[in-house]
């Protein structure tokens, strides 16, 4: 099949078989380069999406651990407050409640930060694939220009007046 392409290119351009072979090689090389860039973009997107998934799992694990630690602290505060009979403002129970509110706010900020990091990783994944597509299109256009340049007539030169 490649001999048919070379023959066709040589016939169209009226050039030698060597020129046709070079142009065919350029065209094939361009095609392979475009394919490689597109596949590379897909692979990078897949890797970044997997990274985002792993980050989400790790964040959920850290959140669960923080909640368990908070529950232990709150439970021990409740037990100590009930055993001492404290009540009212400034008691261990009210201090524990205020502490739980602050921890809740902190948890919300940590959760937001982790969701933003995951979203950023997913945006990088989409951008990687898009960039690979643009690079592939650029390579394709360069290859087409090279092939077209091989078959375009040489520019006419005008004699200099002298």
Kindly report, residue by residue over 46-86, the tens digit of the pLDDT: 888 898 888 888 888 888 888 888 778 777 777 776 676 65
- Total Cβ atoms within 10 A of residue 147: 18
pLDDT, position 22:
72
**Residue 158 counted as domain residue:** no
Nearest by Cα to 50 from 122, 114, 115: 122
Number of domains in the chain: 1
pLDDT above 80: residue 37: yes
Lowest model confidence (mean pLDDT) among 11-15, 70-74, 134-138: 11-15
**Residue 106 counted as domain residue:** yes
**Residue matched to tokens 């403002």:** 89
**Residue 70 counted as domain residue:** yes
**Residue 157 counted as domain residue:** no
Tokens of 151: 């078959």
**Residue 95 counted as domain residue:** yes
**Residue 87 counted as domain residue:** yes
Tens digit of each residue's pLDDT (9 = 90 or more) over 82-108: 676 655 555 665 666 677 777 777 777
Residues 44-47: contacts with CB under 8 Å, at least 24 apart: 44/125, 44/128, 44/129, 44/132, 45/125, 45/126, 45/128, 45/129, 46/125, 47/125
Tokens of 105: 């706010």
Domain range enclosing 8: 2-151
């Amino acid at each position: 099949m490649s001999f048919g392409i070379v023959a066709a290119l040589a016939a169209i351009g009226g050039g030698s078989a060597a020129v046709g072979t070079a142009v065919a090689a350029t065209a094939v090389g361009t095609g392979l380069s475009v394919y490689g860039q597109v596949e590379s973009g897909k692979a990078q997107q897949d890797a970044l999406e997997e990274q985002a998934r792993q980050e989400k799992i790790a964040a959920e694990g850290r959140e669960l651990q923080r909640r368990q630690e908070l529950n232990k602290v709150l439970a021990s505060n409740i037990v100590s407050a009930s055993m001492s009979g404290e009540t009212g403002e400034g008691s261990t129970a009210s201090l524990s409640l205020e502490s739980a509110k602050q921890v809740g706010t902190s948890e919300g900020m940590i959760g937001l930060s982790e969701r933003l990091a995951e979203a950023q990783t997913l945006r990088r994944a989409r951008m990687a694939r898009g960039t690979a597509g643009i690079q592939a299109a650029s390579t394709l256009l360069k290859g087409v220009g090279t092939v077209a340049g091989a078959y375009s007539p040489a520019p006419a030169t005008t004699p200099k007046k002298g």
